[in-house]
Chains A and B, each alone.
Chain A
């Protein structure tokens, strides 16, 4: 089963601590070595992006930053055997932030990608 994890956060005013990136890379390596992490990357602030929308038949393009308080800061794609496994990996990443970056708050959406198991009998 494939899951997409989207990490969103309110970044604290303080800069990210030196050890955080190292710890994130290490955990990413572990998840890769476990055969679970298929793809991941950090996302630039929404100021570098745009939003394309269609409401009431009208297509519009709005440059970032988006109005939402939280920024989406990374995505990751996992191949796991249960939702709980994907949740476990997400938890490990959030715990890193908790342990290494005072005041960091955020959330990770754990979204299932449709697969053959969703259509079989």
Chain B
């Protein structure tokens, strides 16, 4: 490829292959830290060789083979040589035998799954899980993660180092969780991916581009996971939720970066491809009612409505009802009240809101104010919006609530 800088080719191939390589190495050496070091060595070799010798014909296979040879060399040098060699006997033989090498590649899916269960292990703090997952599965550099999370690079570096040490100290095996733990461990993996997505979704205009890029990264991780664990409806539920939320990216803020509420968004700017993918993913979850499936089902109601007034609020209210049952929270109840307000009117909605205890949460008085205003109880409504304006820490929200209060004072 004479027209392309080999270094950039190495980078691109690395982005595609690094997670698989690290996952394969982790199975061989039983240590994610060591696996990453070996993978980095491999990257360095590629960066040295490819610009001189040219890019290999099958660069992905080249990286994998080189990495495996590094691991075998290392294991041979280690003191517990014989013992370890038995573990990698298969891999050693495979390196010289194309059939075995192909068979070994069949394990890659499981390797990746083992790796993601390890980087999202509950023994690690949430921020360590996020950093380690982005590093090892996402292939992001420490610098990229730091820019995405608006923290110094050294902080991210420490989180990753500490996470690897914790995994080693606690002798966390790199393996699939036993059946009795799958649900809980999978929930941790999904939580990490959704946290990454939401961090990117919270990015605002002017932020480093790495921040919104976290949405794409989380989506990619979710899509990979859906291929690795297709039997898990909540994985498809999370992917559907992210695809549907990401479909609104272009419509959810105005030119100045001010957020635009769902019902006011220009739906022509919604990404049809992502909506279709979201609905397709949701189709894999029929008959299941996990929290991600339910949230995705609600997002799908909005996605299916060509105009805001076409929204099936009755269905949304019912879905929030189920969600409140599956994972009870006052926030879910507040959202249910909003949906009921659209579906049945402000009276029944107000009855739900009045039963909620959410101190210091600005959206509670804001929703209550809106319902009271629709019921013609103007003075009470104004007081609620004033309360909401006093509670919010978001300047744009505050001016929105103050404007509503002022309009009701006239």
A contact set with B: CB distance below 8 Å: 32-36, 38-39, 77, 79-82, 84-85, 87-89, 91, 95, 116-117, 120-121
Contact = CB atoms under 8 A, between A and B. Distances in A.
7 contacts: A82-B11, A84-B9, A84-B12, A88-B59, A89-B16, A120-B205, A121-B206
Given A34-B16, A35-B223, A35-B224, A116 B8 contact: no
Contact of B12 (A77, A88, A121): A88
Contacts of B273: 38-39, 77
A116 B15 contact: no
A34 B109 CA distance: 11
B394 interface: no
Interface in B154-209: 205-206, 209
Contacts of A33: 109, 224, 227-228
Given A39-B273, A82-B8, A95-B57, A88 B220 contact: no
B9 A88 contact: yes
Contact of B16 (A32, A38, A85, A117): A85
B227 A116 contact: no
Given A82-B8, A84-B8, A88-B16, 20 more contacts: A33-B109, A33-B224, A34-B16, A34-B220, A35-B223, A35-B224, A38-B273, A38-B277, A39-B277, A77-B273, A80-B15, A84-B4, A85-B12, A85-B15, A88-B9, A88-B12, A95-B57, A95-B58, A117-B209, A121-B205
B219 interface: yes
Interface residues on B, range: 20 to 34
A117 to B, nearest CB: 6
Nearest to A33: B227
A116 B249 contact: yes
A35 B242 CA distance: 13
A79 B216 contact: yes
Interface string B214-254: 00100111111001100000000000000000000110000
Contacts of B11: 82, 84
Contacts of B228: 33
B365 interface: no
B352 interface: no
Nearest to A31: B16
B192 to A, nearest CB: 16
Interface string B3-18: 0100011011101100
B219 A35 contact: yes
B309 to A, nearest CB: 28
A80 B213 CA distance: 11
